Amino acid sequence: MSNKFLFTSEQVSEGHPDKMCDQVSDAVLDAIYEQDKFAKVAIETLIKNNTVIVAGEVTSVATVDYDAVTRKALSTIGFDSEETGFDAKTAQINILIYTQSREIGNAVDKEGDDESDIGAGDQGLMIGYASNESPELLPLTMVYATQLLLEMKKARINGTIPWLMPDAKSQVTLEYEKDDKGNLKINRLHTVLISTQHRSGVSNEEITKTLIDQVVNKVIPMKLHDEKTHYFINPSGSFIVGGPKGDCGVTGRKIIADSYGGWGGHGGGAFSGKDPTKVDRSAAYAARWIAKSLVYNEYCNRCTVQVTYGIGISHPISVFIDSHGTVLKGLTDTDLVEIVLKNFDLRPGMIIKDLNLRRPIYREICVYNHFMPKDNATWEIPKIF
């Protein structure tokens, strides 16, 4: 017996105001890490019009020009004049960065040079997910939504589609079919929705035709399209005012686009601006590493992993795995938990070591999903066991 259903995921471009803020927060982390890999960092950014506020807590021996780092991070996105709504050269940058609370530091830090048993930087639950429906072992709704925007970015930068601007969102709905063992099959493309900022002087008809022909049909296999597929391109009719001129941005507001597009759940903690002693980031990467490794090693066809922590406590409080009925090799979900505990050391200090997280890699990681394959995304390399 099978069950058909529709599922949707969305993605945003690097010019979306929230994602601009993620990039600033992670650029600050990277700049600090270039000088001090043991720094404690928690940075939030807000952007509106031509004003940027960078705030948070940093404990570090690094000397960083936060104003210059912020301008550099924003200068490569594509907004560079009053016409585009933001200009990093003339923006007003307000820096509100102070030292981390000593109470938090005392909970995390351990005496000596061995970091393996440091405590978690906060309480919380982190979710990992993987599925064998794509080469990336990610949900195809998330993969396609991301690839659409990457293709648009390429066309904007190389001039193939000259009227494209940096702010954009995509949304992909697929029809799935689930069998009685929880395995998924993709039947068809139900809907594609793209909203993209554009220069003036281009009609909605041209935008629609160009993006369907040069982006949608290039990214999503034609065998999934049919006569019932819906294409909504700039359904608002016009999207000239975008970026921080059109909307206020804040760090950490795109956590679903950053992860699994709604599949598998989310623990609620944002990634960007946080050093890896914060388990919101490091343990979320580890949970993805676990889930991807289980699917890659064919212990299941898809799974959700939950890991929970308490502040100052090094070992996880709990580990949960749901294979959604797809567990293989005669095993159970309980067996999968035992396999994971034998093969992964989930203390934050060991996650940091095993995934080599004390590096200035995060500005590039934070755009177009943290779990799409990228240079330095060590958690995307499955562990063989």
Pairing outcome for strands 302-309 and 249-250:
unpaired
Domain for residue 267, yes or no?
no
Of 123 and 137, the structure prediction assigns the larger pLDDT to 137
Tell me which amino acid residue 176 is: Y
User: What is the spatial distance between Cα 284 and Cα 290, in angstroms, rounded to a whole number?
Assistant: 10
Q: Above 50 in pLDDT, residue 132?
A: yes
Residue 110 scores a pLDDT above 60: no
pLDDT at 314 over 80: yes
Using alpha carbons, select from 11, 50, 238, 272 the residue that is nearest to residue 138. Answer: 11
The mean pLDDT of 307-328, rounded to a whole number, is 96
Average the pLDDT over each of 118-127, 219-228, 282-291 and give the range with the smallest value: 118-127
Higher pLDDT, 191 or 110: 191
Query: Sorting pLDDT into bands at 50, 70 and 90, what band is 105?
Result: low
User: Which pLDDT score, from 0 to 100, does residue 111 have?
Assistant: 43
Nearest-10 crossing angle of helices 279-296, 333-343: 120
Do both 365 and 300 map to the same domain?
yes
Question: Looking up tokens 């702010």, which residue turns up?
Answer: 167
- 19 located within any domain: no
Q: Looking at 179-221, which runs of residues are DSSP E strands?
A: 184-198
Q: Which two tokens stand for residue 221?
A: 């296999």
- Cα 90 to its chain centre, rounded Å, is 29
Q: What's residue 101's pLDDT?
A: 60
Q: Say if residue 207 is in the same domain as residue 291.
A: no
Whether residue 264 is contained in a domain is answered as no
Residue 199: both structure tokens together: 């220069």
- Within this chain, do residues 223 and 368 fall inside the same structural domain, yes or no? no
- The arithmetic mean of pLDDT across residues 89-105, rounded, is 82
- pLDDT band of 183, cuts 50, 70, 90: very high
Residue 47 forms part of a structural domain: no
Q: How many residues does the chain have?
A: 385
Q: Please give the model's pTM, rounded to 2 decimal places.
A: 0.95
Which residue among 212, 241, 270 closes a domain?
Answer: 241
DSSP label at residue 382 = P
Range of the domain at 162: 3-12+140-241
CATH of the domain at 323: 3.30.300.10
In a domain, 366, yes or no: yes
Counted domains in the chain: 2
Q: Is the pLDDT of residue 47 over 80?
A: yes
Cβ neighbours of residue 111 under 8 Å, at least 6 residues apart?
none
Residues whose CB is less than 8 angstroms from the CB of residue 8 and which lie 6 or more positions away in sequence, other chains included? 141, 171, 172, 173, 191, 261, 262
Q: What is the pLDDT of residue 117?
A: 81
**pLDDT confidence tier of residue 34, bands split at 50, 70 and 90:** very high
Residue 351 lies inside a defined structural domain of this protein:
yes
Residue 213, domain member (yes or no) = yes
What average pLDDT is seen over the chain?
94
Tell me: do 153 and 234 sit in the same domain: yes
Pair 229, 298 in one domain? no
What average pLDDT does range 161-184 have in this prediction?
Answer: 96
Among residues 194, 225, 241, which one ends one of the domains?
Answer: 241
